[in-house]
């Protein structure tokens, strides 16, 4: 029999549960920086696992020495990239005026004026085709400096974050066996083996995935830079850098990068004649970027991602597509790692399911 006391207790429990959930969300929100550090450290750990194993197995280092050597390599790479990339990006960015919103707007207005004169000279009604004042008023020019400044700001002001991430990574790498032993103590006995097998496979596959992602971005960056050098585009390094970073966003990122490269190519050549210099160079750059994307989409990306995650290219495409529909750009970025984890967990806990057996036959 339901009494008023039972109802009251139920309401109080519901309120208490809701309050705990809200408090937990608030707590997580307050320590979100720490969570970012943990995620970054976990990614570095996944990338560093093969390096640590090399030091331990091939060079016979102790666990501590192998971990220290791995972190030293990370530190050398990070410092080297900062010393090489940041001054060059800053100097070329200043030449390109991507740090000054008003300068960007003035350059785009001048560019649109050149396009306007070009259309008029070819008998095209420019008033109906392009309206400079309306276009420049509707465009948000803050996205270019905001994007670049966020990248450079992250690189230049993450000293404390870098130290924290490397410190956490050190113990993730050094004490991972202790973590596994600790996890064993809290896991239910009937699922312990399956969970540990899942963690080992996820660790292996995601290590290969993140290494493959870095390799793919580097390949794309080099190819972009070569295209820009071939056609004599000034500030090619920073344009290639920006477009390569955008490549992290699957499918949409390369398209945005190509459009951005075309715009920046035209802006960086404003002093030249539009018809004989600016337009041909821009067309060549767009064609070159299209060739790079063709190579990346059909060769480097499928090979690197498929081999690293043991998934068919169609699986990866559908996973990214679904992630994009469900969670937008962030969903597209994390789709492959999440899909890989789900496959591993599915194989361990539902090995008899026909669909899972088909999807995980190569794992």
What is the per-residue DSSP string for 23-79?
HHHHHHHHTHHHHHHHHHHHHHHHHHHHHHHHHHHTS---HHHHHHHHHHHHHHHHH
Asked if residue 154 lies in contact with residue 146, where contact means CB atoms within 8 angstroms, the answer is no
pLDDT in tens, 226-284: 999 998 887 788 788 888 888 888 878 888 889 888 888 887 777 777 777 888 888 99
Which pLDDT score, from 0 to 100, does residue 133 have? Answer: 47
Block residue for tokens 């990614």: 43
> What is the rounded average pLDDT of the residues 59-80?
88
Which of 143-152, 201-210, 284-293, 310-319: highest mean pLDDT?
Answer: 284-293
pLDDT at 6 over 80: no
pLDDT at 151 over 60: no
Which of 78-87, 254-263, 292-301 is predicted least confidently? 78-87
DSSP collapsed to 3 states, 70-102? HHHHHHHHHHHHHHHHHHHHHHHHHHHCCCCHH
42 vs 128 pLDDT, higher one: 42
CA distances from 14 to 5, 7, 25 (A): 14, 11, 17
Give pTM, 2 decimals: 0.70
Asked if residue 238 lies in contact with residue 265, where contact means CB atoms within 8 angstroms, the answer is no
Which among 261, 232, 277 has a CA at the least distance from the CA of 114? 277
pLDDT band at 124 (very low <50, low <70, confident <90, very high): low
Asked if residue 173 lies in contact with residue 45, where contact means CB atoms within 8 angstroms, the answer is yes
> What is the rounded average pLDDT of the residues 20-34?
87
State the burial class of residue 16 (Cβ atoms within 10 Å of its Cβ: 0-12, 13-18, 19+): exposed
pLDDT band at 224 (very low <50, low <70, confident <90, very high): very high
Which among 75, 74, 64 has a CA at the least distance from the CA of 177? 64
Which of 251-255, 286-290, 297-301 is predicted least confidently? 297-301
29 vs 91 pLDDT, higher one: 29
pLDDT at 177 over 60: yes
Percentages helix, strand, coil for the chain (3-state, rounded to 5) are 85, 0, 15
């Amino acid at each position: 029999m339901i009494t008023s006391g039972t109802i009251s207790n139920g309401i109080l429990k519901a309120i208490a549960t809701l309050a705990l959930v809200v408090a937990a969300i608030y707590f997580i929100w307050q320590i979100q920086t720490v969570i970012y550090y943990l995620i970054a450290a976990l990614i570095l750990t996944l990338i560093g696992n093969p390096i640590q194993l090399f030091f331990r197995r091939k060079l016979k280092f102790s666990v501590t020495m192998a971990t220290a050597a791995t972190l030293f390599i990370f530190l050398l790479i990070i410092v080297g990239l900062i010393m090489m990339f940041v001054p060059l990006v800053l100097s070329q960015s200043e030449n390109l005026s991507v740090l000054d919103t008003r300068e960007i707007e003035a350059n785009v207005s001048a560019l649109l004026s050149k396009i306007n004169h070009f259309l008029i000279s070819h008998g095209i009604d420019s008033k109906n085709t392009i309206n400079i004042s309306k276009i420049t008023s509707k465009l948000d020019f803050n996205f270019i400096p905001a994007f670049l400044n966020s990248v450079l700001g992250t690189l230049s002001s993450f000293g404390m974050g870098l130290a924290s991430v490397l410190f956490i990574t050190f113990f993730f790498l050094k004490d991972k066996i202790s973590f596994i032993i600790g996890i064993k103590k809290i896991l239910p006995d009937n699922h312990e083996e399956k969970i540990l097998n899942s963690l080992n496979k996820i660790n292996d596959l995601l290590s290969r995935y993140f290494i493959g992602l870095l390799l793919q971005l580097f390949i794309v960056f080099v190819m972009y830079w070569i295209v820009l050098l071939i056609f004599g585009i000034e500030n090619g390094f920073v344009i290639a850098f920006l477009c390569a970073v955008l490549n992290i966003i699957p499918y949409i990122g390369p398209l945005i990068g190509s459009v951005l490269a075309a715009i920046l190519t035209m802006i960086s050549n404003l002093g030249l004649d539009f018809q004989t210099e600016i337009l041909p160079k821009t067309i060549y750059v767009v064609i070159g970027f299209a060739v790079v994307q063709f190579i990346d989409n059909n060769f480097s990306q499928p090979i690197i991602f498929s081999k690293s995650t043991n998934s068919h290219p169609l699986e990866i495409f559908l996973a990214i597509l679904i992630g994009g529909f469900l969670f937008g750009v962030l969903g597209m970025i994390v789709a492959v790692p999440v899909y890989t984890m789900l496959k591993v967990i599915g194989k361990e806990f539902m090995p008899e399911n026909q669909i899972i057996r088909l999807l995980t036959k190569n794992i």
